[in-house]
Amino acid sequence: MVLAVAFVGLGSGGGGREQSLREAASRSGLLIGTAVRPAQLSEASYASTLAREFNMVEPEDALKWEVVHPEPQSFNFSQADQIVDFATRHGMKVRGHTLVWHRQNPKWLTEGKYTSEELAQALEHHIKAVVGHYRGQIFAWDVVNEAFDELHPGTLRSTIWRDQPGLTSSFEPRDSSGPASSDLGARNSQQSYSYIERCFRWAHEADPQALLFYNEAEAETVNPKSDAIYTMVRDFRQRGVPMDGVGFQMHIANLHTDVASISTNIKRFTAFGVQVHITEMDVALPVDAKGNARPEDLQRQADIYRQIASACLAHPGCSAIQTWGFTDKYSWIGSHSKHTQGTALLFDHNYRAKPAYEALRSALKLGQR
Ligand code: XIL
């Protein structure tokens, strides 16, 4: 399908065309991205809105293990390749998501019986094959996603990677020749994140140019989880572990966001030289049986998009803002909330810009740096 409708107006009427998000963002030196589902790329309105508004894309599910690594010895890159191809044709960067997570893994992995050495080999093989396939094409990776626990702050979540048999034992004791021993006291009070370190090192070997991120949910504000991540990231940086940034997912599920705390958190991470990417932003609103939100909530949602964008732009190390999809027609929030919430994104079901879109664009225009 030919994308001849790439520059439709946005209800501005008359003469001059309004700036798109990507135009406003590039003037601020910021990447503006969105998660993408390959099946939708053949839909003209989806593709034209995507190409017009964003300068970065990220496969929403296409690079998760269950899609990309369906059998132990075979990979299926066809879905993610479609997205990378679209990005290439439209001058967009690609973020990769995600190499290590506890969800959306294939049964052969979760139900197989492996020793920790075999599990480590499978993980190394996966990371090097996937990162290697996209070497030079995917500029930044969420290497590890959501490894810290919600319920027990400061500890690692129980996952196939951490336990039963887990990888940690195969990486302990760690090499004692480096300067790490001074940190061991602090680290021993937590569960070891040595497996995370190994993942970053493998990814770096597969593509030394790629930026490597640790991505997390519910660590956007200063809180026990972001404190634990901060400790890990500082340790990694001090010891030269190849880690470039932290992703704050930014799935906002109520309208009482503590933007000041988010800003303080961005500041403390960027202060020691790591980049921050806002990686999965959406702002879920309560909806009625027809899926409609109240007009005043749409306005408050717009304020949150504006404030988060401004908080990012205030810190030069905050280099990307990405939304988790861009049209309410395709958003994970509906099924995730059992349809009690919705309308979380910048465009409605018919690709009309919502107040959130206008608010984000005005923040991008104002925040030039
Ligand atoms: C979600 C996708 O949007 C859905 O399509 C899928 O069914 C489940 O996963 N945090 C993450 C993302 O890091 O990978 C998740 O994506 C949303 C929460």
pLDDT digits (tens, 9 = 90+) for 169-224: 555 544 444 334 334 334 433 457 889 999 999 999 999 999 999 999 999 999 99
Q: Say yes or no to pLDDT of 8 above 70.
A: no
Indicate the angle between helix axes 116-133 and 194-206, nearest 10 degrees. Answer: 30
Whether residue 98 is preceded by a cis peptide bond, meaning omega within 30 degrees of 0, is yes
Enumerate the H helices of the chain as residue ranges. 21-27, 44-53, 65-68, 78-89, 107-110, 116-133, 168-171, 184-188, 194-206, 224-238, 259-271, 295-313, 333-336, 355-366
In the chain, the amino acid numbered 125 is: H
Atom of ligand 1 nearest to the CA of 217: 10
User: How many angstroms is it from 95 CA to the middle of ligand 1?
Assistant: 15
Of 336, 337, 338, 341, the one to substitute when testing ligand 1's pocket (max ligand atoms within 8 A of C-beta) is 336
pLDDT of residue 7: 36
CA 110-164-148 angle, 5° bins: 85
Q: What is the mean pLDDT of residues 342-350?
A: 98
pLDDT attached to residue 50: 98
For residue 191, the model assigns a pLDDT of 53
Residues having CB within 6 Å of any atom of ligand 1: 60-61, 145, 217, 249, 280, 332
Question: Residue with the nearest Cα to atom 13 of ligand 1?
Answer: 145
Distance 97 CA to ligand 1 centre (A): 10
For 1, residues 6+ apart whose C-beta sits below 8 A from its C-beta are: 42, 44, 47
**Amino acid (1-letter code) at residue 303:** D
Q: How confident is residue 358, by pLDDT bands cut at 50, 70 and 90? A: very high
Closest C-alpha to 224, from 168, 176, 166, 152:
152
pLDDT exceeds 60 at position 90: yes
| Ligand 1 centroid – CA 121 distance (Å) | 26
| Helix, strand and coil percent figures for the chain, each rounded to 5 | 40, 15, 45
What atom of ligand 1 comes closest to residue 145's alpha carbon?
13
Distance between Cα 102 and ligand 1 center (Å)? 12
Q: Which of 65, 146, 249, 324 for a ligand 1 pocket mutation test, highest count of atoms within 8 Å of Cβ? A: 324
- Angstrom distance (rounded) from CA 336 to CA 339: 7
Collapsing DSSP states into helix, strand and coil, what is residue 143? strand
Q: 332 alpha carbon to ligand 1 midpoint, in Å?
A: 7
Q: Give the tokens for residue 244.
A: 């470039």
Provide the mean pLDDT of the chain. 90
Nearest 5°: the CA angle 111, 109, 167 is 105
Q: What percent of the chain has pLDDT over 90?
A: 80
Q: Any bridge partners for residue 195, and if so which?
A: none
User: From atom 3 of ligand 1, which residue's Cα is the shortest distance away?
Assistant: 332
d(CA 296, CA 68): 41
Active site residue ranges: 146, 280
pLDDT at 58 over 60: yes
Report the nearest atom of ligand 1 relative to the CA of 64: 14
With 60 as the cut, is the pLDDT of residue 240 above it? yes
Model confidence, pTM: 0.91
Please name the residues in contact with 253: beta carbons below 8 A apart, sequence gap of 6 or more: 284, 337, 341
What's the confidence (pLDDT) of residue 84? 98
